Chain A
């Protein structure tokens, strides 16, 4: 290979890789795959919104899905066939124009359809709709022998399908997917919010909200007294069309490139107190303001300075709420303040072997890596999660110890067997896969 190595990093900017990067169409990808030599293999990558090293392959090849942007839609059935490189934001725009909306969208629109399947992502609607894979009717996957095969959730190809869902790019390159969109009448959300004064109340409010609303999520204040107060956001797709929300809102760039982190207990404490007391939202909201609140600012991840940050996201079953209190107490001890703490309830799991969501609770916390003793504390959390049948979300991970993986993902061995069958050459690889012994 004559390309030069380029440097890339996950969204958290705390883990880096040097690799060969290529962006190709399907035919070129097939040619490339046939000619790959060396030990480091290749990996499909999307928009790199994974936080850690899921989309990094040091010393190997990154094959970007950027050129896979095809779209064809059946306006009567709401079934859309899209290239895996299409972003969720574009998918939303196209769908809305035809009177549809994807039932599952993540917290940012800058995620590709391929990345959404590979991580079996969830949205605020999980308690009602399940994960992203619930929308996937079929997909085309490029195998390591360069053949492109169509996989379906049921029937003879279903094992390969469910190994690719949540399979972190390690079974092949998703090149195209057929998605079932949901019909909608309006173009925006009806939203409303509620303040909850401590963790018990927040858990209760979120549970209640799930009974009545299609989209729910809670912001939790991780600063000050760490009592678990927060704001529950609830939304439902509006049934009417509003001209106000016709154009998508503008984006600005994060203006600074700080060396050190601007996220300190003091700045976070001040921000969180203000946020907790903000006037509650009630009324209508644009799709972006409700579904992707952070997408208004490009590169906001720079706020954490050069060392970067990580997101710790885990899930625990119902009945294990005590662990959430433990986490709050420990973060308080560490003075680990975070302005992004997100709590959500999960509904039923998908059949994806490595799919993350399972019934119960999930908490996601953004933390600067420079917090002293954070690594040890997170390791302790992981050990506790294993006891409580919880797990961490791989697409956010950049530090999990390999020893915890099998207990967190009980279908790991079945997945490995299918993966080996799909990729006998062991072509697909990532830094995360090597770190965690996935491949």
Chain B
């Protein structure tokens, strides 16, 4: 349960090494938190790509009520060492298939509980296909779409889905890439994510100004957009 300060007691972070995920955790009010469970490949050997592993992880989270789940697994799919095809399959598998499945499983459990909040990390890249990251963007568009639909479906269940759409976040994942305009630190993104979790809205951009940039971005005529590309 969120207590009367709206502080969660038990939180799960899937993608326990995620810099944004951890930053969100750090930005939540700490005084009521009693347990944080982290799942990641390095320390808990959790491979999100394995269907059964996802099921097991989710059922292990719900030995007690879970108040907040942060799904922060993700692949960028730009490793130069692999082929474009392998990258495509990898981003679909992690960013869409595994994330949507986890979202579905966690939400179902939370519906039984009658309460809970899930934060999904989408991306600004889902706004419009760009030549350098459209495969990645397509998976984020898909998970964003699914999360919005699910959020609508769960409107009266006590369960809330929250969608964070970060722009360029300076993390390990983006190291070596040329920072895009409006890039921010994981810490800043985390603050926005935590605020989203505690507030009433469903979607937030990080930085928040991207919300307005997105409107322009989506509405630019294709011909101009391609030139910007």
Contacts and interface: CB of A to CB of B under 8 A. Distances in A.
Chains A and B are bound partners = yes
Interface of A: 4-5, 7, 12, 14-15, 17-19, 38-40, 52-53, 58-60, 308, 310, 369, 374-376, 379, 398-399, 401-403, 431, 434-435
Contacts of A53: 1
Interface string B1-26: 11111110100000000000000000
28 contacts: A5-B114, A5-B156, A5-B157, A14-B5, A15-B2, A15-B3, A15-B4, A17-B158, A18-B114, A18-B158, A39-B112, A40-B113, A53-B1, A58-B1, A58-B114, A58-B115, A58-B158, A59-B112, A59-B158, A369-B4, A374-B5, A376-B31, A379-B31, A399-B7, A401-B32, A402-B34, A431-B1, A435-B9
A14 B64 CA distance: 22
Nearest to B159: A18
A379 B31 CA distance: 8
Contacts of A5: 114, 156-158
Given A15-B1, A58-B1, A375-B29, A4 B9 contact: no
Of all A-B residue pairs in the complex, the 7 with the closest CB atoms, nearest first, are A59-B114, A58-B114, A14-B4, A18-B158, A398-B4, A399-B3, A375-B31
A380 to B, nearest CB: 10
Nearest to B114: A59
Contacts of A403: 34
Contacts of A15: 1-4
Contacts of A19: 114
Contact of A435 (B1, B5, B6, B158): B1
Contacts of B157: 5, 18
Nearest to A53: B1
Contacts of B7: 375, 399
B47 interface: no
B111 to A, nearest CB: 8
Contacts of A60: 114
Which secondary structure characterizes the binding site on chain A? loop
Q: Range of interface residues on chain B?
A: 20 to 34
Contact of A401 (B4, B34, B111, B113): B34
B109 to A, nearest CB: 10
Given A40-B112, A401-B32, A434-B65, 7 more contacts: A4-B156, A5-B114, A5-B158, A14-B4, A431-B1, A434-B1, A435-B9
Interface in B154-208: 156-158
Contacts of B114: 5, 17-19, 40, 58-60
A12 B4 contact: yes
Nearest to B112: A59
Given A5-B158, A17-B158, A369 B5 contact: yes
A431 B4 CA distance: 12
A110 to B, nearest CB: 21
A182 to B, nearest CB: 37
B158 A310 contact: no
A17 B158 CA distance: 7
A312 to B, nearest CB: 10
A15 B114 CA distance: 13
Nearest to B67: A435
A140 B10 CA distance: 37
B28 to A, nearest CB: 12
B32 A375 contact: yes
Given A4-B156, A18-B156, A310 B4 contact: yes
Contacts of B29: 375
Nearest to A56: B1
A311 B134 CA distance: 53
Nearest to A4: B156
Contacts of B5: 14, 369, 374-375, 399
B174 to A, nearest CB: 35
A40 B111 CA distance: 11
A398 B111 CA distance: 22
Nearest to A309: B4
A12 B5 CA distance: 11
Contacts of B113: 40, 58-59
